[in-house]
Amino acid sequence: MKWREAGSWELLIPGAWLAIQGSRPVSYWFGSGDMASDVEGNPVNTLIYAVFILASVVMLRKKGVNWGEFITQNKALCLIYCYLAMSAFWSDMPFISLKRLMKDFGCVLMALVFLTQADPGAAVRAVFVRVSYLLFPLSALCIKYFPEIGRSFTRAGEPMFTGLTTQKNSLGEVVFVFSLILLWDLYEIYKEGDRKGKKTQLLIRIGILIVGFWLLSKCDSQTSLLCLILGIVIFWGGLCLMRMRQGRQILMIFLAVIICLFTLDKTFGLSDMVIRAMGRNPTLTGRTDIWRLVLEQQTDPLVGNGFYTFWDSDKGKAVMNSFMKINEAHNGYLEMYLDGGLIGDTLLGLLLLTAGKRVVDRLFSATTFGKIALIFWFLAIIYNLSETSYFRLDPLWFTFLLVTIECQRRMPPIMVNESA
């Protein structure tokens, strides 16, 4: 904080929110028992989320956020949230569904707290970097010296390194998301002129990144490793495109090529060869079996089962009985199909398309998140092919919202000098 003053005390709220999403529920650290059932029912967690959401609403009210303007600027996002709220009424557990959606909407409120700061980019960099100072070293510490916290076992009984999170893929997601923000921060500091503390700042961030790479190697999450590599490539490529006169056209061609490759993959199975080259089973460690069993449950194809209640229903429990400790479909698009049916997936596609146009505009207009918005938009699409992140309380979804939400910060009124 001596080297960089970014934002105000208000950032403690989204910072704590982000730290919780990157670790475990607060109740766990107070000796809670079963993690799976505790998250929704423990009063400690309910109280913490309620306090954070209420605090964010109060802060945004003081900043004079115009909600009508927010809805107008983020129609696709507000539309899908409204639809998911409606889906709670045809779910088996309407109250639980609405409560979970309210918690998820807290991510939007926390993102707005960042976006209403005087310098949103500097605020995001500062908070993410400072939270990584906690999550990365403590995860390594737990893996090495506190295995009852930092380690677990897979369904097959194999050892699994989880750090402060609850699952190895969650640790991988935390590492790749925070590492990409660290790289962005490292780049911005490197561009600055010589000043006191600059070299120390660079060395600290490099050290934290080394810890992150070690964690990624221990948790063995290939999806997260792929996302980190792609993120670095996109960051470098984005910087190059920003300097090119025809950069936007080149990016459009690149995205068209990606779509063509995806089509070819569905036709000829190109991804199977890539997965085998990575030393993995083409079934994506049993994910295809999970998808098959989930689809066999025959939820309503049009409107789904209701937001985030499938896994608590008899149909979800039938899948869980076949795959121990499974409580997600390991595919964000299939998960949305379970929650909201084809309507939900259509609205999700609309959200991704509008967000895609926005991130491309931000890349070439040199706005606050221009350098990283494209990264997290693209990685969210890729990551959700084998994991679930959309509308779930985790760092990737939060960062996706952060870089794609439109929010016009209201400048304070200019004081007129009467003596002039």
Smallest CA-to-CA distance from 408 within 65, 71, 51, 79 is with 65
Most confident stretch, 190-199, 256-265, 398-407, 410-419 = 398-407
Mean pLDDT of the chain: 85
Q: Where are the alpha helices (DSSP H) in 192-286?
A: 198-219, 222-243, 247-268, 270-277
> Picking from 225-229, 243-247, 400-404, which range would have the lowest pLDDT averaged per residue?
243-247
Which pTM was predicted?
0.89
- DSSP secondary structure string for all residues of 110-157: HHHHHHTSSSHHHHHHHHHHHHHHHHHHHHHHHHHH-HHHHEEE-TTS
Q: Which helix (H) or strand (E) is 66 found in, with range?
A: none
Q: Which residue in 10, 20, 120, 111 sits closest to 58, CA to CA?
A: 10
* CA atoms of 278 and 284, how far apart (whole Å): 11
For residue 265, the SS3 value is: helix
Three-class SS state of 376:
helix
Average the pLDDT over each of 100-114, 124-138, 376-390, 398-412 and give the range with the smallest value. Answer: 398-412
pLDDT band (50, 70, 90) for residue 410: low
Higher per-residue confidence, 35 vs 252: 252
The residue whose two tokens read 């036709």 is 267
Digit-coded pLDDT (tens) for 72-94: 999 999 999 999 999 999 998 99
Phi, psi of 295 (to 5 degrees): -65, -30
**% pLDDT > 90, the chain:** 55
Confidence of residue 112 (pLDDT cuts 50, 70, 90): very high
pLDDT for residue 299 is more than 60: yes
> SS in 3 state form for 1-61?
CCCCCCCCHHHHHHHHHHHHHCCCCHHHHHCCCCHHHHHHHCHHHHHHHHHHHHHHHHHHH
Per-residue pLDDT tens over the stretch 303-359 = 999 999 998 888 888 888 776 667 788 899 999 999 999 999 999 999 999 999 999
What is the SS3 assignment for 159? strand
Roughly how many angstroms between the first and final C-alpha of the chain, as a whole number? 37
Quick one: which of 325, 322, 352 has its CA closest to 336? Answer: 352
The confidence band for 70, taking pLDDT boundaries of 50, 70 and 90, is: very high
pLDDT at 39: 43
Q: pLDDT category, 105, cuts 50, 70, 90?
A: very high
Q: What is the DSSP letter of 166?
A: S
What tens digit of pLDDT does each residue of 30-66 get?
Answer: 876 544 444 456 788 889 999 999 999 999 999 889 9
Q: Which pLDDT value is given to residue 415?
A: 36
